[in-house]
């Protein structure tokens, strides 16, 4: 059964499709080229009451204390029978969206549809960072990224092609809070003395107990299962000073996803990163006056809150023959990350050539010195 849990961005002038233009920060009609600010369009949409699950429902959606219990079914249920059915308002087609998708494109008319039930109520993000870069910047960024990559397969520059680029708002949880507790370290004190012809080294071992606390701010943790954690982590940092309140207008023309990572794994990941950082940062202070200080254990209690945010990322593949390499482009900072191939032959030759040159220079210098009598 179709419902009204979707929103389409149509031009108020001609009814054409609107698309968000990152460089200008406006919605642009693909048909009549008229432009409208995201905020203005949202107000107009309210008056028209074009979509269900409006702003009232979005209020109070801030997630505190990781209370995901109410979202469990929606997150994990992939049974097609239970998946919601959306109706394209443009062509009235009945569409089924993946459980984590927040936007879809109508395969019949190309209409961009925002699945409002995935971004409203308790699923409404606390904020988002809009795209600053349009997809046409990707090619030059990737070319720049290639520079200095000496171990790429021969001809990779010329033959490699950038595949389909998808601009997507990816779900992140951004953690604030503090860790505190008692840490234990093992530390040594070493003293040296001399008795007759003997050097005496005395090492005294101690267990150090220290109360440790520290505060973390805006630690992002990738909340989507689909995205590779290493790829997402490498995209950091995102500048949260540019974050905006969530507005569906920014989603126009882009794909969006909602979080589906289980609560436990996300909190563990955030806490793990915080704990490791705190233990390491506290090591120097805790071990003042000791040598060879190393963490031994302890317990740190976390007091943290999280915000649900959408971050702008372009996902694409670089294809070289039959091989495809996943890449990501930070839609806010322009940073490119991806796993480039290392050609073993190129790598070996790279090593051998340099080895040969260096050895040749050294040996030649020796010979020259010898024959010069130096």
Partner 1 sequence: MGRAIKSMAQAGLILMLVISCVFPALADENLSNEFYRAVDMTGGLSDAQRNTLDSACLEFAENWKADLSLAVITEERCNESGGIEATAKGYYEDCGFGYGPDKDGFSVIYDPDNDKEYIYPIGKAAELFDEKQLRLISRIAPDYEEEYGTFGPLYMTYRLMNNLLESQYGKQEQQEASEGTKDLAVPKAPETESEMIAKADEIEEEQQAAEEAKASEADTETDTETVPESGGAYEGIAYGHELYERIESCGENADPTRGATDPETEADETRKRVSDYADLLTDEEEEKLEAKLTAIRRECKLDLVFVSDNSSYGKDRSVYAADFYDYNGYGCGGDFNGSCLFICMEEGNRGFWTANTGSMDPKYTQELADKSDDVLYSYVTQKRFFDGVMSWADNMRRIYLYGHPFAYEWLQSDYPKDQRAHDYLAPRVVDDNGMLSEETVKHITTSMEEIAKAYDLDLVIHTAYESYEVDKKTFADRFYESHGYGMGEDYSGILITVFKPYGSSNDVVVTGYGRGEEILTDTAKDRLAWRLEGELDSDSTTKEEAFSKGLSWVKHLLQTGRVPRSGLSWFFSTAFELIVALIIAAIMRSHAKKKMDTPVKAENAEPYLVKGSLNVQYVKDKFLSTNTVRKYNPPSSSSSSSSSSGRSSYSRSYSGSSSRSHSGSGRSF
The DSSP code sequence of 309-371 is: EEEEEEEEEEEETTEEEEEEEETTT--EEE-----HHHHHHHHHHHHHHHHHHHHHHHHHHHH
Whose Cβ is closer to partner 1: residue 210's or residue 319's?
Answer: 210
Nearer to partner 1, 22 or 171 (CB): 171
Which one, 66 or 206, has the nearer CB to partner 1? 206
Q: Which is nearer to partner 1, 101 or 142 (CB)?
A: 142
- Total Cβ atoms within 10 A of residue 84: 17
Distance CA 372, CA 110 (A): 79
Other CB atoms within a 10 A radius of the CB of residue 221 amount to 22
Q: In the chain, what is the straight-line distance between the N-terminal and C-terminal CA atoms, in Å?
A: 93
Smallest separation, CB 75 to partner 1 (Å):
23
Tell me how far, at minimum, the Cβ of 26 lies from partner 1, in Å. 32
Q: Which is nearer to partner 1, 201 or 322 (CB)?
A: 201
Please say which residue, 157 or 355, places its beta carbon nearer to partner 1. 355
Q: Which residue, 37 or 369, has its beta carbon nearer to partner 1?
A: 369
What contacts 282, CB < 8 A, 6 or more positions away?
183, 210, 212, 214
Closer residue to partner 1 (CB): 31 or 271 = 271
Strands (E), the chain: 2-3, 7-8, 18-21, 26-29, 35-37, 85-87, 94-96, 103-105, 112-114, 127-128, 161-162, 166-195, 198-222, 255-256, 291-320, 323-330, 336-338
> Shortest approach of partner 1 to residue 269 CB, angstroms?
9
CB of 230 to partner 1, least distance (A): 4
CA distances to 23, 26, 127, 166, 319 from 7, rounded to whole Å, are 23, 18, 19, 20, 34
- Shortest Å, Cβ 249 to partner 1: 30
CB 279, CB 94: distance < 8 Å: no
Nearer to partner 1, 31 or 186 (CB): 186
Instruction: Report, in Å, the least distance between residue 187 CB and partner 1.
Output: 8
Q: How far is the CB of 165 from partner 1 (least distance, A)?
A: 18
CA 56 to each of CA 5, 9, 127, 245: distance values in angstroms, whole numbers, following the listed order = 14, 20, 16, 15
Q: What span, in angstroms and rounded, lies between the C-alpha atoms of 244 and 310?
A: 10
Collapsing DSSP states into helix, strand and coil, what is residue 177? strand
């Amino acid at each position: 059964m179709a419902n009204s849990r979707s929103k389409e961005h149509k031009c108020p002038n001609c009814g054409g499709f609107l698309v968000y233009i990152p460089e200008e920060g406006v919605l642009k009609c693909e048909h009549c080229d008229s432009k409208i600010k995201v905020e203005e369009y949202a107000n107009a949409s309210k008056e028209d009451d074009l979509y269900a699950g409006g702003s009232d429902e979005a209020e109070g959606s801030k997630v505190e204390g990781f209370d995901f219990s109410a979202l469990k079914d929606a997150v994990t249920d992939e049974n097609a029978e239970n998946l919601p059915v959306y109706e394209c308002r443009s062509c009235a087609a009945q569409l089924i969206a993946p459980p984590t998708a927040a936007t879809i494109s109508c395969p019949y008319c190309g209409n961009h549809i925002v699945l409002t039930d995935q971004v409203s109520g308790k699923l409404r993000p606390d904020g988002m960072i809009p795209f600053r870069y349009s997809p046409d910047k990707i090619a030059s960024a990737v070319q720049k990224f290639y520079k200095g990559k000496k171990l790429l397969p021969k001809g990779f520059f010329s033959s490699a092609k950038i595949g389909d680029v998808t601009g997507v708002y990816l779900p992140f949880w951004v953690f604030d809070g503090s860790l505190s507790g008692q840490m234990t370290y093992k530390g040594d004190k070493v003293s040296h003395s001399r008795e007759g012809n003997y050097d005496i080294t005395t090492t005294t071992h101690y267990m150090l107990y220290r109360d440790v606390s520290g505060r973390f701010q805006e630690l992002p943790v990738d909340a989507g299962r689909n995205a590779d954690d290493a790829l997402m982590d490498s995209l950091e940092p995102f500048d949260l000073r540019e974050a905006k309140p969530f507005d569906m207008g920014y989603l126009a023309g882009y794909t969006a996803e909602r979080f589906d990572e289980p609560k436990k794994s996300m909190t563990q990941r955030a806490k793990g990163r915080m704990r490791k950082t705190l233990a390491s940062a506290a090591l120097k202070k805790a071990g003042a006056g000791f040598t060879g200080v190393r963490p031994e254990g302890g317990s740190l209690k976390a007091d943290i809150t999280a915000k649900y945010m959408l971050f702008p990322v372009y996902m694409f593949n670089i294809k070289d023959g039959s091989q495809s390499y996943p890449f990501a482009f930070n839609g806010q900072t322009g940073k490119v990350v991806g796993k480039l191939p290392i050609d073993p032959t190129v790598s070996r030759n790279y090593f051998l050539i340099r080895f040969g040159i260096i050895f040749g220079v050294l040996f030649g210098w020796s010979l020259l010195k010898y024959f010069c009598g130096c």
